[in-house]
Chain A
Amino acid sequence: MTSTGHIDPRGPRFGAAITSVLSLIAFVLSLEEARLAYITVVVLGILFAWSIISPGTHPYSLVFKKFVRPSLKPPKELEDPRPPRFAQQVGLSFALLGIVGGLFSPVLVSVAAAFIFLASFLNAYFGLCLGCQMYLVIRRLGIIR
């Protein structure tokens, strides 16, 4: 199989597991300690942006390659990076909702954290990548090419 640029699909799922923990923390904090919640959502936003701009140097990716992948069997299939990257963009847009909206209404920080948790949780533990599922539909609608 030609694997130019293709990725181990367990990489994004590993990242999603960490994101799900961070976003759940952000959600809990958003109900108790607004300042800390805001900082956590900013961190999530930076991590999403990083994975879009330079996935190879992303801390999740480095940890996965160095510590996780060596103890796993070789992947059955490699995956095209486009859908997961698109999913990261969806994640980023929710983080931005929290970052920008949070300046006006703290509820939006909770909403953003909740959506990021839902999406990353489903991806990490059920293998359902909501952003990837949306990819074909959104292309059909002509929003992206």
Chain B
Amino acid sequence: MTIGLTLALVAVSLLTGVAYKLFHGRGHRVLGAALVDLAKLKVHKNGDPVTEFGAKATLVLFSTKYCGQCPAVRRALAKLAHRHGSLLFIEADITDRLDLAAHFNITQTPTIFVLNHRGEIRYRVGGTPKTNTIETELAKLGAL
């Protein structure tokens, strides 16, 4: 009895961990054409308010001040945008903007949205994206 229950507990924990490793940061396509409203997002880039989407695609990183993995993700996405002119990278700090978190149903940071040229959400990733997931989606939108 003791051994059985203990093994069951360890097995459940192990499976949860493996499932987390498999699915975390994988992302999924967003169906429908949910739009991001830049006027409501109110993000700034280099001191100026952002009013236009990227020519081919826009990456939105939702971060918080206490998010441990956000700086690394920010660097990776900024590098991508730096290399590709038709791609815009913006970041929305939701530490004090829980209304945004509720509106987009964000439950963890980092969360990344891939928007098309019209600002429609095509793809979203919760957590640190797995290698190449973002690149694959951007390639579909012709932004790479």
Contact mask for chain B residues 8-52; partner A; CB cutoff 8 A; 1 contact, 0 none: 011011101100110010000000000000000000000000000
Tell me the number of A-to-B contacts counted with CB atoms below 8 Å. 68
Taking residues whose C-beta sits less than 8 angstroms from the other chain, chain B's interface range is 20 to 34
Given contacts A76-B72, A117-B13, A122-B16, 14 further A-B contacts (CB under 8 A): A9-B68, A24-B6, A31-B2, A77-B68, A79-B68, A80-B66, A117-B9, A118-B16, A121-B14, A122-B17, A126-B20, A136-B106, A136-B107, A140-B107
Taking residues whose C-beta sits less than 8 angstroms from the other chain, chain A's interface range is 20 to 34
Q: A76 to B98, alpha carbons, bound, how many Å?
A: 28
Instruction: Chain B residues near A1: list those with CB within 8 A.
Output: 71
Contact mask for chain B residues 107-129; partner A; CB cutoff 8 A; 1 contact, 0 none: 11100000000000000000000
Asked if A139 is an interface residue, CB under 8 A from chain B, the answer is yes
In the complex, the chain B residue whose C-beta lies closest to that of A7 is: B68
Asked if B130 is an interface residue, CB under 8 A from chain A, the answer is no
Instruction: Chain A residues near B14: list those with CB within 8 A.
Output: 121
Asked if B76 is an interface residue, CB under 8 A from chain A, the answer is no
Q: What are the 4 tightest A-B residue pairs by CB atom distance, in nearest-first order?
A: A80-B66, A126-B17, A79-B68, A31-B2
Asked if A106 is an interface residue, CB under 8 A from chain B, the answer is no
A sample of 28 cross-chain residue pairs with beta-carbon separation below 8 angstroms, ordered by A number, consists of: A1-B71, A9-B68, A24-B10, A27-B9, A31-B6, A32-B2, A76-B72, A77-B68, A77-B71, A80-B65, A80-B67, A82-B66, A83-B68, A117-B9, A118-B16, A121-B10, A121-B13, A121-B17, A122-B13, A122-B17, A125-B17, A126-B20, A128-B17, A135-B66, A136-B64, A136-B107, A136-B108, A140-B107
Asked whether B109 lies within 8 Å of A136 as measured between CB atoms, the reply is: yes
A90 CB, min distance to chain B CBs, angstroms: 15
User: Which chain A residues have a beta carbon within 8 Å of chain B's beta carbons?
Assistant: 1, 9, 24, 27-28, 31-32, 76-77, 79-80, 82-83, 114, 117-118, 121-122, 125-126, 128, 132-133, 135-137, 139-140
A130 CB, min distance to chain B CBs, angstroms: 9
In the complex, the chain B residue whose C-beta lies closest to that of A82 is: B66
